[in-house]
């Protein structure tokens, strides 16, 4: 299937590891011109050098002015941004009862405000050109809150509400807005969370992982490239009539409809 992504310019946030890296590589493989963006600029440059028509750009979502500088650089070097992938690391694990005001503020800044800032810097051009894709890599916690990831569950859900409303506002302009929710995908983040559970429970990491996999109908963790394939499809031309949607890539983990 031709996804119609050849020559499209994509900015992928958090593209130096995990799901962002897998997504940036997948978009590049489909012919898009990709900006690998992340806090570790040297790593972003290194990853981009392995792909054609790609650049590495420093982007720290928590640093004032970083998003504006990054988007300007992408436009200068690759052209107007057609595809925006919202992605970033998650806040520290915490139960709701332990969340204080400062944790809430920082989590809201990371998961909501910084993402809205990126959208605002890219959206006008998409609407003018009558083509664009805004896609957020969220979490299954949006649809089934995870008790130990309270701030992630709270503020990713807020981002989902914003994107749902935005989708309606820009649909007639040829811009789609969607969200993909990974379940337990084999990334450094999941290994870190499993390690924390193992430490608290006094169990071996392998034992904790096996137990976690046992709760997934497919009985395994997903691969980053499996998530990236779903994201890439939604960014393509064949998905032009899909907007305002949330797609789970979780091996059947979430039982809700």
Alpha-carbon torsion (90, 20, 69, 47), positive or negative? positive
Residues 95 and 135: their CA atoms lie apart, in Å, by: 28
Kindly indicate the confidence band of residue 156, based on its pLDDT and cuts at 50, 70 and 90: very high
DSSP class of residue 149? Answer: B
Question: Within the chain, how many helices (H) and strands (E) appear?
Answer: 9, 7
Alpha-carbon torsion (31, 47, 92, 68), positive or negative? negative
Q: What is the largest CA-CA distance in the chain?
A: 56
Sheet containing 83-86, strands listed edge to edge, beginning at the edge strand earlier in sequence: 54-58, 33-38, 9-12, 83-86, 132-137, 175-182, 246-249
pLDDT of residue 70: 97
| Pairing mode of beta strands 54-58, 83-86 | unpaired
pLDDT of residue 194: 87
Mean pLDDT in residue range 116-121: 97
pLDDT of residue 193: 84
Helix 150-170, helix 114-129: angle, nearest 10: 20
Residues 251 and 58: their CA atoms lie apart, in Å, by: 33
Q: What is the pLDDT of residues 26-68, one digit of tens each?
A: 999 999 999 999 999 999 999 999 999 999 999 999 999 999 9
Residues 54 and 25: their CA atoms lie apart, in Å, by: 10
Domains delineated in the chain = 9-183+223-248 (3.40.50.720), 186-221 (no CATH)
Give the length of the chain. 257
Which residues on neighbouring strands pair with residue 132, listed in sequence order? 175
Classify 153 as helix, strand or coil: helix
Which residues on neighbouring strands pair with residue 33, listed in sequence order? 9
pLDDT of residue 24: 98
């Amino acid at each position: 299937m031709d996804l119609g992504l050849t020559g499209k310019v994509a900015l992928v946030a958090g593209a130096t590891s995990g799901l962002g890296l897998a997504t940036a590589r997948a978009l590049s493989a489909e012919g898009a011109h990709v900006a690998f963006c992340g806090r570790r600029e040297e790593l972003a440059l290194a990853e981009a050098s392995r792909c054609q028509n790609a650049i590495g750009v420093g982007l720290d979502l928590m640093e004032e002015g970083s998003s504006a500088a990054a988007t300007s650089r992408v436009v200068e070097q690759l052209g107007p941004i057609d595809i925006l992938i919202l992605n970033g690391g998650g806040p520290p694990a915490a139960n709701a009862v332990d969340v204080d005001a400062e944790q809430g503020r920082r989590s809201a800044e990371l998961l909501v405000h910084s993402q809205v800032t990126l959208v605002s810097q890219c959206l006008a051009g998409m609407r003018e050109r009558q083509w664009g894709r805004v896609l957020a890599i969220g979490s299954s916690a949006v649809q089934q809150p995870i008790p130990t990831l309270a701030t992630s569950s709270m503020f990713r859900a807020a981002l989902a509400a914003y994107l749902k409303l935005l989708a309606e506002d820009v649909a007639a302009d040829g811009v789609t807005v969607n969200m993909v929710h990974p379940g337990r995908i084999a990334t450094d983040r999941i290994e870190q969370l499993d390690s924390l559970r193992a430490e608290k429970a006094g169990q071996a990491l392998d034992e904790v992982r096996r137990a976690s996999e046992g709760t997934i109908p497919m009985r395994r963790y997903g691969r980053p490239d499996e998530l990236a394939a779903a994201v890439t499809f939604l960014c393509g031309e064949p998905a032009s009539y899909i907007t305002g949607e949330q797609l789970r890539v979780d091996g059947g983990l979430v039982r809700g409809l």
